């Protein structure tokens, strides 16, 4: 019994490591200015944790193999289990601290650096179970959202008040995120109900929506594409269906799209 467990643990550890090494399931090619440093960081983290994972599983399998069939073999550990537990806690703690130290450099480039001054500002609202994107329109100004005016039946997803608020009159609201290529984009993310998350694998961009907060995040897409974003926080019964198209267009196509939207 002990020996077959040791074999099973080794096989599971090596097969799962092999899946990552062969990249059977991996991220799609990146189309973001910050994609490369993020990918380098992901690989570093995978190597660091992967080596320790395989080593720990093989050590476990070795001990189980050696002590199988020997009653009381666990007492053979020098000093009993306490030094093992202390050592394991220290190693895991150091590993996590190391990962934080290395990972912070990339993280701060995304979350601590402000968006470039020329960034295109798009307001994003998440709600059960859809994303909506708002562009300021020709006046360059967003109308003020009024939560009490939100009315999905009349497509007033942001609670705008165009009768009284001139800045709101030309706001463009879209169910897809459409951006021009090679243009820095600033998203201000807010939720109208519960926690959601926005994940665009090609842009290596993932950020939670937290009710009550307006969270800024910025990116620059470097390739023309049409892809999807998904909600990655379990947000209710319709969560599985919460997604939106993301289109990165040439500057000309983006300008045409804006005119089309404004005419609707
Ligand atoms: Cu959601």
Q: What is the pLDDT of residues 59-113, one digit of tens each?
A: 999 988 888 877 765 666 677 778 888 988 998 899 889 888 888 888 888 788 8
Which long-range CB contacts under 8 A does 107-115 form with residues at least 24 apart? Answer: 109/34, 109/37, 110/34, 110/217, 110/218, 111/217, 114/218, 115/184, 115/185, 115/186, 115/216, 115/218
- Judge whether 238 and 264 are in contact, CB under 8 Å: no
Distance 15 CA to ligand 1 centre (A): 33
Strands 130-135 and 172-174: antiparallel
Residues of the chain with pLDDT > 90, as a percent, come to 50
Cα Dmax for the chain = 83
Q: What is the pLDDT of residue 76?
A: 64
Q: Does position 250 have pLDDT exceeding 80, yes or no?
A: yes
Q: What is the pLDDT of residue 148?
A: 85
Calculate the dihedral angle through the C-alpha atoms of 172, 173, 177, 179, rounding to the nearest 10 degrees.
0
**What are 27-44's pLDDT values in tens digits?**
899 999 988 988 998 888
Q: Is 165 helix (H, G, I), strand (E, B) or coil?
A: coil
Distance 189 CA to ligand 1 centre (A): 13
Distance 180 CA to ligand 1 centre (A): 25
Distance 154 CA to ligand 1 centre (A): 22
Distance 198 CA to ligand 1 centre (A): 8
Q: What's the CA gap between 173 and 135, in Å, rounded?
A: 6
Distance 188 CA to ligand 1 centre (A): 16
Distance 194 CA to ligand 1 centre (A): 8
Distance 232 CA to ligand 1 centre (A): 7
Q: What is the pLDDT of residue 9?
A: 93
Cα–Cα distance list, 187 to 29, 125, 153, 177, 236 (Å): 22, 10, 25, 10, 24
Q: Which residues contact 160 (CB under 8 A, 6 or more apart)?
A: 143, 144, 145, 146, 149, 168, 171
Distance 6 CA to ligand 1 centre (A): 41
Q: What's the CA gap between 264 and 261, in Å, rounded?
A: 5
Distance 211 CA to ligand 1 centre (A): 12
Q: Is 251 helix (H, G, I), strand (E, B) or coil?
A: helix
What mean pLDDT value characterizes the chain?
A: 89
């Amino acid at each position: 019994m002990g020996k077959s467990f040791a074999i099973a643990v080794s096989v599971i550890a090596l097969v799962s490591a092999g899946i990552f090494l062969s990249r059977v399931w991996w991220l799609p090619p990146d189309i973001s200015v910050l994609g490369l440093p993020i990918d380098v960081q992901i690989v570093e983290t995978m190597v660091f944790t992967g080596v320790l994972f395989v080593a720990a599983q093989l050590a476990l399998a070795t001990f189980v193999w050696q002590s199988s069939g020997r009653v009381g073999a666990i007492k053979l550990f020098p000093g009993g289990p306490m030094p093992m537990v202390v050592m394991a806690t220290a190693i895991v703690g150091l590993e996590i601290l190391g990962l934080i130290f290395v990972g912070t450099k990339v993280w701060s480039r995304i979350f601590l650096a402000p968006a470039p001054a020329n960034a295109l500002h798009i307001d994003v609202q998440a709600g059960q179970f859809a994303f909506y994107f708002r562009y300021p329109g020709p006046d360059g100004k967003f109308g003020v959202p009024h939560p009490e005016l939100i009315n999905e039946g009349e497509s007033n997803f942001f609670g705008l008040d165009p009768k009284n608020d001139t800045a709101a009159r030309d706001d463009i609201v879209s169910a897809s995120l459409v951006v021009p290529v090679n243009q820095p984009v600033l998203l201000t993310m807010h939720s109208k109900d519960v926690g959601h998350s926005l994940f665009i694998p090609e842009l290596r961009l993932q950020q939670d929506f937290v009710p009550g907060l307006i969270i800024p995040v910025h990116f620059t897409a470097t390739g023309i594409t049409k892809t999807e974003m998904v909600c990655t926080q379990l947000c209710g019964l319709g969560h599985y269906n919460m997604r939106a198209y993301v289109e990165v267009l040439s500057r000309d196509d983006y300008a045409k799209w804006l005119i089309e939207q404004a005419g609707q």
